[in-house]
């Protein structure tokens, strides 16, 4: 079976994990700050806080920006539900901005128009969660300009995009967003099984995020309200969570980020081959912004209306050939939970039109040339008239 995504674990990864299992700390040990430092160094962020997954990192990010009941958070409908749910955890309302039909990321024009009318209505968002869909960076210069004009904070949900570059800067590096979130789920660029990270250049956000990750507790006497007399004392300063990563996972993460450029290089080769060999088929291939470098988490195509098979028929026919594609994403607001909150079909027409035709082809760093050949042969056989 050829899946749409999968992890790449090698002997170094296994050895790194085994070493932790034989060491003194399984969690809250030295492997966590080592992994955080590696991600900070790689992305160019000042502060990096490892967490149990990207969903908890998004929740902490939203809380660190003091979002609460009465606030509104906007995001892209073309994302995993976690991009929106983080706001609901904090009691805030969620709204959605349509996507750009070319990049599949949040549409800057739609965002600008929506901000203008929200400003008139006195209902501006406190936070915008932008998503680097498929690993392709959003237009951060335009987002930053709108952030300054309308005073919202920007979270980059870069769950797909560690290693991606915008104008020569790695996603997560200072100033592109207030907070950037990475996911290390096995289908993503690098993995820790479950795992995520929040990176920021803002020391105050970093301090709050670190507290929220671990029960709101600190042992740092500089942060304590009552100067601690006893060496065992800690203080709980806020209502936090247990969103920690383990040392076992962090060691796996450090081993993985050590070869991230090799993994990204393989993704680029695979994408280039798809670009070349699918060009004549009735598919819309993913747009690549020449001024950016995508991390290529996904290779999403759209099945054109003049194709001999519908998207569903193509999905089924590939599945019969043991090639299991996926679809990213049904617009979040069409999920029953959000539909029950008042959203309905037609709300973001570009996201819906994209979803009707989208198919994510197999894309992962250890997809072999012969497996990719099988995918290409199947697509030619099914789509070439």
Ligand X SMILES: *Cc1c(COP(=O)(O)O)cnc(C)c1O
* Sequence-separated (6 or more) residues with CB below 8 Å from residue 302: 283, 284, 354, 357, 358, 359
Rule CB under 6 A: say whether 54 interacts with ligand X: yes
Q: Which of 59, 147, 160, 267 binds ligand X (CB under 6 A)?
A: 160
Q: Which two tokens stand for residue 43?
A: 């992305």
Distance, in Å, from the CA atom of 55 to the CA atom of 294, rounded to the nearest integer, reads 22
Q: Which of 17, 60, 82, 348 binds ligand X (CB under 6 A)?
A: 82
Size of the site for ligand X (CB under 6 A): 14
Judged by beta carbon, residue 84 or residue 111, the one nearer ligand X is 84
Rule CB under 6 A: say whether 360 interacts with ligand X: no
Shortest Cβ distance from residue 309 to ligand X (Å)? 27
Q: Which of 17, 131, 154, 281 binds ligand X (CB under 6 A)?
A: 131
Shortest Cβ distance from residue 222 to ligand X (Å)? 31
Q: Which of 7, 43, 53, 218 binds ligand X (CB under 6 A)?
A: 53
Q: Which of 7, 43, 55, 218 binds ligand X (CB under 6 A)?
A: 55
Judged by beta carbon, residue 158 or residue 281, the one nearer ligand X is 158
Piece in contact with ligand X (CB under 6 A), picked from 53-61, 96-104, 166-174, 283-291:
53-61
Burial (CB < 10 A; 0-12, 13-18, 19+), residue 317, is middle
What Å distances lie between residue 32 and 116, 212, 254, CA to CA?
A: 43, 16, 9
* Sequence-separated (6 or more) residues with CB below 8 Å from residue 308: 282, 382, 383, 385
Shortest Cβ distance from residue 63 to ligand X (Å)? 16
Binders in 192-231 for ligand X, by CB under 6 A: 196
Q: What are phi and psi of 47, to 5 degrees?
A: -125, 140
Rule CB under 6 A: say whether 159 interacts with ligand X: yes
Q: Which of 75, 78, 83, 249 binds ligand X (CB under 6 A)?
A: 83
Piece in contact with ligand X (CB under 6 A), picked from 2-10, 154-162, 203-211, 333-341:
154-162
What Å distances lie between residue 216 and 46, 199, 208, 236, 242, CA to CA?
A: 22, 18, 8, 5, 9
Rule CB under 6 A: say whether 157 interacts with ligand X: yes
Shortest Cβ distance from residue 183 to ligand X (Å)? 4
Burial (CB < 10 A; 0-12, 13-18, 19+), residue 285, is middle
Q: Which of 56, 94, 69 is nearest to 242 (CA)?
A: 56
Shortest Cβ distance from residue 76 to ligand X (Å)? 9
Rule CB under 6 A: say whether 183 interacts with ligand X: yes
For 13-34, letters b (16+ CB in 10 Å) and e give: beebbeebeeeeeeeebebbee
Rule CB under 6 A: say whether 50 interacts with ligand X: no
β-bridge partners, 79? none
Q: Is residue 212 within 8 Å of residue 241, measured between CB atoms? A: yes
Contacts with ligand X by CB under 6 A lie at 53-55, 79-80, 82-83, 131, 157, 159-160, 183, 185, 196
């Amino acid at each position: 079976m050829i899946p749409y995504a999968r992890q790449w674990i090698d002997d170094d990864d296994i050895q790194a994990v085994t070493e932790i299992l034989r060491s003194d700390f399984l969690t809250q040990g030295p492997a966590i700050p080592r992994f955080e430092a590696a991600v900070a160094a790689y992305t160019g962020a000042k502060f990096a806080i490892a967490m149990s997954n990207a969903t908890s990192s998004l929740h902490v990010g939203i809380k660190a920006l003091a979002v609460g009941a009465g606030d509104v958070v906007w995001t892209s409908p073309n994302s995993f539900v976690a991009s929106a749910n983080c706001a609901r955890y904090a009691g805030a309302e969620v709204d959605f901005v349509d996507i750009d039909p070319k990049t599949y990321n949040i549409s800057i024009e739609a965002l600008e128009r929506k901000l203008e009318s929200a400003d008139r209505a006195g209902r501006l968002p406190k936070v915008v969660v932008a998503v680097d869909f498929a690993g392709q960076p959003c237009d951060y210069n335009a987002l930053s300009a709108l952030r300054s004009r309308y005073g919202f904070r920007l979270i980059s949900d870069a769950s797909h995009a560690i290693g991606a570059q915008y104008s020569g800067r790695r996603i997560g590096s200072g100033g592109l967003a207030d907070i950037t979130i990475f996911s290390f789920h096995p289908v993503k660029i690098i993995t820790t099984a479950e795992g995520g990270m929040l990176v920021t250049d803002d020391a105050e956000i970093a301090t709050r995020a670190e507290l929220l990750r671990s029960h709101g507790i600190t042992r740092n006497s500089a942060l304590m309200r009552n100067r601690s007399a006893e060496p065992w004392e800690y203080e709980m300063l806020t209502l936090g969570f247990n969103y920690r990563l383990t040392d076992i996972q962090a060691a796996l993460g450090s081993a993985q980020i050590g070869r991230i450029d090799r993994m990204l290089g393989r993704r680029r080769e695979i994408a280039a081959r798809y670009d070349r060999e699918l060009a004549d088929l009735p598919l819309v291939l993913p747009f690549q912004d020449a001024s950016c470098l995508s991390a290529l988490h996904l290779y999403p195509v759209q099945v054109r209306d003049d194709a001999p098979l519908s998207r569903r028929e193509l999905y089924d026919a590939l599945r019969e050939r043991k090639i299991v594609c996926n679809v990213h994403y049904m617009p979040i607001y069409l999920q029953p939970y959000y539909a029950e909150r008042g959203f309905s079909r037609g709300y973001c027409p570009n996201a819906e039109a994209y979803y009707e035709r989208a198919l994510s082809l197999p894309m992962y760093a250890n997809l072999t040339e012969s497996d990719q050949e099988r995918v290409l042969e199947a697509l030619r056989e099914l789509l070439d008239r």
